[in-house]
Amino acid sequence: MTDRPVVIRPPQTLLDEPRRRLSHGGILDTPAGLFTVLVFEHQSPPARAEATPSWTVYLTEPGARHAVLALARALPAPDHSVHFVACSFGPLPDPGRLVLVVQHRDLPHPRTVDLRTPPPRGGAAVSWLAAPGPLPGTGTEPARAWHSGLLRTPSLVFTHLEANTVGPDTLATPEWDLSPHRPESRPRPLAADFTPSRLLHGTATGGDRFSSYDAVYAAPESGAPFTWTCAPLGLFANATTAGVAPGT
């Protein structure tokens, strides 16, 4: 576990067939443990809206009977024939000994990523417009905030923003409240703004020890500024993208 996200694996394509493609958008060691996002693309027909249990994602040591199951959050974009699945695993003592396994009913067989070996060479079907990083502060904040970068497909951009407490009950205060009864004058604890790109899907989750926000945007046709914001900590990070032309 680290104070900022560290890239263990860059984005990688795990399955590339004429009508389906599966990639991971980088495997990160973060203040909350390992994190990755899966990108499942269908050419046609559009990918079905599915419940999270249809994806099984876990880490295991080869030959072991036990596994660490991911907390998975699905963000479907059926109009673009894409599913994003954000996967959080929690703290792990030695991720370099593990294998990541992905199972889904539309995959011909499970896909694996062996974290014990160097990453393979070659390009991936998805890429970062901006690399993962922290929301920088003084280091004395009661929580750490970080983002997973800006991950692009030909027509979409995905990001994950998270804050993790460094002490008990830090995120149990009103400014971290995610309920619909939160006063309108109080901003959401975590936000991501991609101007002028259009937000297609945004999901906020949280608990006593973490708060997170996952978002999917239409990819901009030209350069656009992006800002990640953590209002309770007064932290932010900026990025300027080179832009993504749909269909590239």
Give 93-130 pLDDT, tens digit per residue: 888 899 999 999 888 899 999 999 988 877 789 999 99
Note whether 6 and 29 are within 8 A (CB). Answer: yes
In this structure, are strands 20-30 and 6-9 parallel, antiparallel, or unpaired?
antiparallel
216 within domain boundaries: yes
78 within domain boundaries: yes
**Polymer length of the chain:** 248
What was the pLDDT predicted at 53? 56
15 within domain boundaries: yes
Q: How many domains does the structure of the chain reveal?
A: 1
Give the whole-angstrom CA distance, residue 242 versus residue 127.
12
248 within domain boundaries: no
Give the whole-angstrom CA distance, residue 132 versus residue 7.
8
Give the whole-angstrom CA distance, residue 122 versus residue 52.
30
Give the whole-angstrom CA distance, residue 57 versus residue 88.
10
Structure-block tokens of residue 22: 């599966």
What was the pLDDT predicted at 5? 93
**125 burial type by CB count under 10 A (0-12 exposed, 13-18 middle, 19+ buried):** middle
55 within domain boundaries: yes
Helix, strand and coil content of the chain, in percent to the nearest 5, comes to 5, 50, 45
Domain that residue 82 falls in: 6-240
What was the pLDDT predicted at 94? 85
105 within domain boundaries: yes
Who contacts 85 (Cβ-Cβ below 8 Å, separation ≥6)?
Answer: 37, 38, 40, 52, 55, 57, 72, 73, 74, 75
Q: Cis bond leading into 45, ω under 30°?
A: yes
In this structure, are strands 99-104 and 55-60 parallel, antiparallel, or unpaired?
antiparallel
Edge-first strand order for the sheet with 111-114 is 68-69, 55-60, 99-104, 111-114
From residue 169, how far is each of 60, 91, 236, 241 by CA, in Å?
31, 19, 22, 36
- What pTM was estimated for this model as a whole? 0.91
Cα end-to-end span (Å), the chain: 36
111 within domain boundaries: yes
60 within domain boundaries: yes
- Which residues of the chain register pLDDT less than 70? 1-2, 44-53, 222, 242-248
What was the pLDDT predicted at 240? 81
Give the whole-angstrom CA distance, residue 180 versus residue 93.
37
